[in-house]
Every structure is written in structure tokens, then in C-alpha cells.
């Protein structure tokens, strides 16, 4: 059990950029024009319109999340590339986490899942509660840094410490 907690702590610190050590927010608090965000996205690893934007069936939400993440990286008149890369990876992780949660819910053979995964898959209200909590946390911290949402949703496919599960 201790290794699982350590693994989630490491994943959370990577997802939140704790290891990067660079500030991603412009101290002057300025926001970039939409064309600056689009240009930075165009030159990013995934490009301006990654194919994964609509994989979770929420393209508009995911695009806003990505745009906000890139804007969060605006510093000294430009979008900082390593920060933008971290934001892209976080948004991509959000998409994959939402897809995994939905796939587990739709599985015919849920017996192949762990106890915690099965509990979440069989109780869709948990997904709604965790999502609501994570979106609130994201908004409470400015609604720009996608790493917050990614780290929070990181537990969703298996279990969530945010929602009590029955003891085995």
C-alpha cells in the first residue's frame, strides 16, 4: 500500500510541475492575445489541433482548458515553451483519464478490474463528484494551470481519496 501512495505522490508532483522549478506566471499578470496562444500551440509538440482534443467527447471544454493552460505560461511577452509543454501534457492526461473512466464504466467484464476500479465503474455518481471537486479546485486556483486538474483527476480511474469507498 505504501508503494501505491508513493507512486501517486510522485505522479502528482510531476503532473503539478513540482520538479520543474520554473515559474509559469507573468509577474505583471498580463494575458496573451488569442493569436499568441494559437501560435504557441501551432509550434508545440501536439500542434495547434491535436487529434486527442475530441477523444473524450468534450472538445470545447478541452480546447478552453488547453488555451487557459498556454495563457498561464505567458511570461515577458511570450509563452514559455517548457511550461506550455507541461500544460499540454496535463491536458492530454485529463483527456486520457476521462476516457479511461468511461471505458471502465462501459466494460462488460468488470470483474477484471481491481476492487477500487470496479467500485468507481459501477457508481457513475463518483465520477461526477470527483470531477466537480477537481473542477472547483482548478477554478479556486485561478482556472488556468491544467496541472492542478490533471493531478486531481489522476486518481479517477482506480479510486479517489476524495470519495470514501467501502472497506473490502
Contact in structure between 128 and 102 (CB atoms under 8 Å): no
Q: Is residue 9 part of a domain?
A: yes
Q: Is residue 159 part of a domain?
A: no
Q: Is residue 27 part of a domain?
A: yes
Q: Is residue 37 part of a domain?
A: yes
pLDDT digits (tens, 9 = 90+) for 82-127: 999 999 999 999 999 889 888 888 999 988 888 888 888 888 888 8
DSSP symbol at 54:
G
Q: How far apart are CA 22 and CA 20, in angstroms?
A: 6
Q: What is the distance between the terminal CA atoms of the chain, rounded to a whole angstrom? A: 14
pLDDT at residue 4 tops 70: no
pLDDT value for 69 = 97
Number of domains making up the chain: 1
Q: Is residue 166 part of a domain?
A: no
Q: Is residue 69 part of a domain?
A: yes
Domain range for 93 is 2-153
Q: Is residue 97 part of a domain?
A: yes
What is the value of pTM for the model shown? 0.76
3-state class percentages of the chain: helix first, strand second, coil last, to nearest 5: 60, 0, 35
Amino acid at each position: 500500500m505504501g508503494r501505491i501512495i508513493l507512486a501517486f505522490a510522485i505522479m502528482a508532483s510531476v503532473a503539478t510541475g513540482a520538479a520543474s522549478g520554473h515559474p509559469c506566471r507573468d509577474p505583471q499578470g498580463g494575458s496573451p492575445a488569442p493569436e499568441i496562444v494559437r501560435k504557441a500551440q501551432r509550434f508545440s509538440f501536439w500542434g495547434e489541433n491535436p487529434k486527442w482534443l475530441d477523444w473524450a467527447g468534450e472538445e470545447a471544454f478541452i480546447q478552453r482548458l488547453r488555451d487557459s493552460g498556454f495563457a498561464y505560461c505567458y511570461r515577458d511577452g511570450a509563452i514559455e515553451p517548457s511550461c506550455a509543454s507541461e500544460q499540454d501534457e496535463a491536458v492530454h492526461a485529463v483527456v486520457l483519464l476521462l476516457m479511461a473512466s468511461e471505458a471502465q464504466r462501459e466494460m462488460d467484464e468488470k470483474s477484471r478490474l481491481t476492487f477500487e476500479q470496479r467500485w468507481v465503474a459501477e457508481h457513475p455518481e463518483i465520477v461526477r463528484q470527483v470531477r466537480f471537486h477537481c473542477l472547483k479546485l482548478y477554478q479556486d486556483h485561478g482556472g488556468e494551470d491544467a496541472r492542478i486538474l490533471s493531478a486531481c483527476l489522476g486518481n479517477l480511474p482506480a479510486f479517489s481519496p476524495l470519495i470514501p469507498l467501502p472497506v473490502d
